[in-house]
Amino acid sequence: MLSIGINDAYGVYQQHYQLTEFPDSTTAIISWIGTTQFLVMCVGGTFSGFLCEHFDTRVMSAVGAVVMGVALIAGSFCKTVQMLMLTQGLLYGIGASFPFVAGTSIPTQWFTKRRGLATGIALSGSGLGGMWMTSATQSLIDSIGRPWAMRVTGIVACVAVLAISPWMRVRLVPSRNEQIIDWSLLRDVRFNLFMGAVVFAVAAYFGPFYQLPSYSVVVLHKSANWGSNMDTLMNGLSVLGRLAVGFLADFTGPLNLFILNTVLAAASLLVLWVPFDSVGTLIAVDLLFGFAIGGIVSVIPVVAAQVFGLARLPSIIGLLFIGYFIGGLLGVPPMSALLDDVGHRTDYTSSIWYMAILPVCSLLFSIAMRLILTRKLRTKV
């Protein structure tokens, strides 16, 4: 909730920076603040998986809590996009990577029969965080300004993560390995296909979260509050998606649901957002994409645990974070560049088309992986 959830709420800052605080900066440059946040979280996740194998996860989570708080409070004093990239982006990403990797990998160790549901509940925290952080951040910016909004968020994040760190305990202590990344997995064709599916799924994840608020203002001529409410709604549906898919994964198989939700995500963008620019269809996109993308991210660690085993799962997740990193690079930066260079910051068509292609690519990789595992349609995978 307080690592990836805060990143999910960056669309409010993106809207504020783009329309109010830095109107002369390009959308692409501003989007790099939130993108840096996520990319560094992924790179940090790779190393924190290694560190959590060598040190107490509870201590690493507490250290991350302090860094998260310091980063956002320091960012509140920044007056340039570049300094915000270093504080709100880089430093926050480093701190958030520790509770992020712990929250992703620990639940799978404590459950067997209901592993999918347990992971879905844990990862629904990011959607919950995106929900209340989006509304809270917009309200704070409107009432006390952006600097104090960041200070309040930093204090809340630091105190809350410190409070829960003592319970971030692993069940299985893996054998220590001096390799930060388990490169042997890259010799497995199934893992490479899975990595491809994850890369494009993550690339598709943040685009709507970042661009829907400003799209609502620029294209649909709605208020800033209405735009932030769209992000809140999408985060709310992502919570339902995480819980529903987490529950169903234990009965139908996590990979099967990954594929189904990727179809829904692609359909929401290709069928609803690309051809239409009305309020009603945008709400439909918000609901369907939010539900689908929430389900996708919740089953990624469950697929990894089921197909590749629980042994050294933190390192496996760490390798997947490299996929998240690549996906982050392929996602928001190109979308924002298309909005700047092709759409001239008012026409979102090219950016939406690019967003829509990404889940289609993820779908192709995941189907190929499933065909290697089994060709039987009704098999639980």
Average pLDDT over all residues of the chain: 88
Q: Residue 160 — very low, low, confident or very high, per pLDDT cuts 50/70/90?
A: very high
Q: Quick one: pLDDT at residue 273?
A: 94
Helix or strand (DSSP H, E) at 74: helix 57-75
Query: What are the tens digits of pLDDT across the range 226-240?
Result: 988 888 899 889 989
Query: What are the tens digits of pLDDT across the range 46-102?
Result: 776 667 666 788 888 899 999 999 999 999 999 999 999 999 999 999 999 888 878
Selected residue with higher pLDDT from 291 and 172: 291
Q: Residue 193 — very low, low, confident or very high, per pLDDT cuts 50/70/90?
A: very high
Tokens for 186?
């890259």
Residue pair 285/371 in contact by the 8 Å Cβ criterion: no
Looking at the predicted structure, is the pLDDT value of residue 134 above 70? yes
Rounding to the nearest 10 degrees, give the CA dihedral for residues 227, 340, 80, 43.
90
Mean pLDDT computed over 325-348: 92
d(CA 100, CA 36): 15
Q: Quick one: pLDDT at residue 33?
A: 95
Q: Quick one: pLDDT at residue 2?
A: 87
Q: Quick one: pLDDT at residue 52?
A: 64
Residues 6+ apart with CB under 8 A from 11: 34, 134, 209, 210, 211, 212, 213, 214, 227, 228, 231
Q: Quick one: pLDDT at residue 311?
A: 63
Selected residue with higher pLDDT from 166 and 174: 166
d(CA 262, CA 1): 23
Residue pair 335/211 in contact by the 8 Å Cβ criterion: yes
d(CA 304, CA 306): 6
Mean pLDDT computed over 281-291: 94
Residue pair 254/306 in contact by the 8 Å Cβ criterion: yes
Query: What are the tens digits of pLDDT across the range 194-224?
Result: 999 999 999 999 889 888 888 999 999 998 8
Looking at the predicted structure, is the pLDDT value of residue 177 above 60? no
In the numeric block, the tokens 């760490």 are attached to: 318
